[in-house]
Amino acid sequence: MNMKSYGNHNATYDSRILSIKPELVIDNPPHGLYGEMEEEQYPGEGYTASWLLQNVAGYQAAGIKVIGYVTSGYEGKGGDDGYAAKWYSLDMNKMLITNMATLDHVDGVFIDECSDFPNSASKSYLQQLSDLAHSYGLIVWMNVGVDNFDPWFFTSGVADFMQSSESWRGQSLSPVQQQWGSRIGVTGYKSSYTAQDAYNLTIDAWCKGIEYCYINTVEYTKIAPWFEEYAGMLRNWNGNCP
């Protein structure tokens, strides 16, 4: 399984993730986007902020691959959070990827807010980021956040994995999800979900050919109280589809 972990790190938070032991965790290391923002606001202190993932090596020692977060802001046009334009620039993202690779020693990069059907300029932007990340041996995981998107992301080699549906409910797969499911992840969340709900939705995704599925009570900032139970149920799955 994979986890998106954008919550504030502390000893309890980290111990839970180390116990859950996902294959990959998408997170905010010191030299990713939010560490850089923190350093700009608090010079000399931002990179060491305790709420960032400071324990990259500890996660890796536990067998968890760390995927560091950046956002393309729809290839420099501006992201949904409305940050200043510089945070979405090609140069900024190249710097963040380089620093996460060489200073944080992450295993991959997660590029948020990618256009689902990018034009030629957007493709060039994404290709440059992908080429840079691959030059450091990093996994490139992109996010379009929707069911249907351009197969170019895979046929071009620009994306190793894709975050597709962000509202997974067990729906039918789109053509690109059907063809490329082994390189796709989906997520879903609802405050009323239980470990059994999360398990059922994940097994449904796996049985439809989707490689990764992450279900929670909130989107990405907290870990559901039942997450350890959910992870244990998945590890005990016998491989039989309903």
Radius of gyration of the chain (CA): 17
Question: From CA 77, how far away is CA 84, in angstroms rounded?
Answer: 11
- What pLDDT score was predicted for residue 54? 97
User: What are the tokens at 102?
Assistant: 């060489």
- pLDDT for 5: 83
Residue 82 has what pLDDT?
86
d(CA 108, CA 27): 10
239 occurs within a structural domain? no
From first to last of its 242 residues, the chain has per-residue pLDDT tens of 888 888 789 999 999 999 999 999 999 999 999 999 999 999 999 999 999 999 999 999 999 999 999 999 999 999 888 899 999 999 999 999 999 999 999 999 999 999 999 999 999 999 999 999 999 999 999 999 999 999 999 999 999 999 999 999 999 999 999 999 999 999 999 999 999 999 999 999 999 999 999 999 998 889 999 999 999 999 999 999 98
The model carries a pTM of 0.95
What is the per-residue pLDDT for 220?
Answer: 85
- Strand runs (DSSP E) across the chain, as ranges? 2-4, 24-27, 65-71, 108-112, 139-143, 161-163, 184-189, 212-216
Does 241 reside within a domain? no
Scan for tokens 């502390």, then name that residue: 10
Asked whether residue 98 is domain-assigned, the answer is: yes
- Residue 188: inside a domain, yes or no? yes
Whether 240 maps to a domain, the answer reads no
Would residue 123 count as lying in a domain?
A: yes
82 domain-assigned: yes
The domain that contains 31 carries what CATH number?
3.20.20.80
Q: Structural domain of residue 150, as residue ranges?
A: 2-234
Q: DSSP alpha helices (H): ranges in 47-119? A: 56-61, 73-76, 90-99
pLDDT of residue 221: 87
Number of domains present in the structure of the chain: 1
Residue whose entry in the numeric block shows the structure tokens 């409305």: 82
Specify whether the CB–CB gap between 47 and 38 falls below 8 A: yes
Indicate if the alpha-carbon torsion angle 115, 116, 122, 127 is positive or negative: positive
Residue 118 belongs to some domain of the structure: yes
- Give the residues across from 140 on adjacent strands: 109
- pLDDT for the residue 148: 98
Question: What letter represents residue 158's amino acid?
Answer: V
